[in-house]
Copies of this chain bind each other. A is one copy, B any other.
């Protein structure tokens, strides 16, 4: 079944896709349907982040289902708000759509989007929809709230602070490699069955990443306000260097401490990739990297899903990876930079 978008028109399409949306957050006064959404933030600061996702650059619809893409587009924006130690509350979603897409395609995309909004308690409050000459363009802006004294920036890391990360790293990148390999093996064969058995974790990390709402909640519960925090979207090395640069500090990152899942290690081996490089420079982990004062070592060490992977130094000591054999290698952001 394929319904052409032209049968609904721009306004009909928006109405069709958004008719069941109900606002749930107290801060959402007015959503879709006027010149602007109206929000209410009398007591907390307003956090705003935005992402532009382009077909052929950020996603490949030959193996990314639109429902997953909707979920991921929302989740990666929520991740930026959590990275400020905040809570996402609203999103606006703009789409540029070529003739290739049907109303049903957009229903799939919105289904994923709305699922993510439900899971993370976020309201969809607006957007823009237009035709495009080629491909799908997605622009999402997320608005969230943060408490004045608890918003965490990138520039607060201090000498001797511990460097922590959530979850494990490199899995999303290996998931991408796997999907790309199967795509090239497939090459139009009609009887092709991709070989994904035992690799579900990698695929899920690539196709349906989650934002670490849980980590922000545990930090709050433990009374920890990190001295700096970011989400890991371009690779651990790139993000840690951002923190060091903006905080004017150095760091020591211990290779043996970097958390890597078993499947990630196995796949890196198969692809003849150094798994540390994958963790340092593979993109789209959407884990959190944060720093805390040394005296909170016991607290963060006992937090589920958090690993202490190194420590901050004075700026003059430089920014280094300490390898398993004790060598120091200067950290470089070789990583996943979509403009490089």
Give the B-binding residues of A (Cβ under 8 A): 5-6, 9-11, 13, 29-30, 33-43, 45-52, 54-58, 80-81, 83-84, 86, 90, 92, 94-97, 125-135, 137, 139, 141-144, 146, 151, 153-155, 229-231, 246, 337-340
Contacts and interface: CB of A to CB of B under 8 A. Distances in A.
Nearest to A12: B339
B154 A34 contact: yes
B30 A40 contact: no
A130 B36 CA distance: 26
Contact of A38 (B11, B46, B97, B137): B46
B35 A49 contact: yes
Nearest to A8: B339
A57 B131 contact: yes
- Counting chain B CB atoms within 10 Å of each CB, the highest count among A90, A125, A126 belongs to A126
Contacts of A45: 29, 38-40
A51 B29 CA distance: 20
B48 A125 contact: yes
Given A48-B37, A146-B38, A130 B92 contact: no
A251 to B, nearest CB: 18
A143 B142 CA distance: 12
Closest 4 CB pairs between A and B? A139-B139, A10-B339, A36-B49, A52-B94
Contacts of A6: 339-340
B128 A52 contact: yes
A41 B46 contact: yes
Nearest to A337: B10
Contact of A94 (B33, B51, B142, B340): B51
A56 B130 CA distance: 12
A237 to B, nearest CB: 13
22 contacts: A9-B339, A9-B340, A10-B338, A30-B153, A35-B84, A36-B144, A38-B47, A39-B48, A41-B41, A41-B46, A48-B92, A49-B126, A51-B94, A52-B128, A54-B133, A57-B96, A57-B132, A57-B133, A130-B339, A133-B135, A134-B134, A139-B139
A217 B216 CA distance: 43
Given A52-B95, A54-B137, 4 more contacts: A38-B47, A42-B42, A57-B130, A129-B339
A95 B81 CA distance: 20
A214 to B, nearest CB: 17
Nearest to A41: B41
Contacts of A49: 35-37, 92, 126
Nearest to A97: B339
A4 B54 CA distance: 21
Contacts of A134: 133-134
A29 B86 CA distance: 15
A29 B340 CA distance: 31
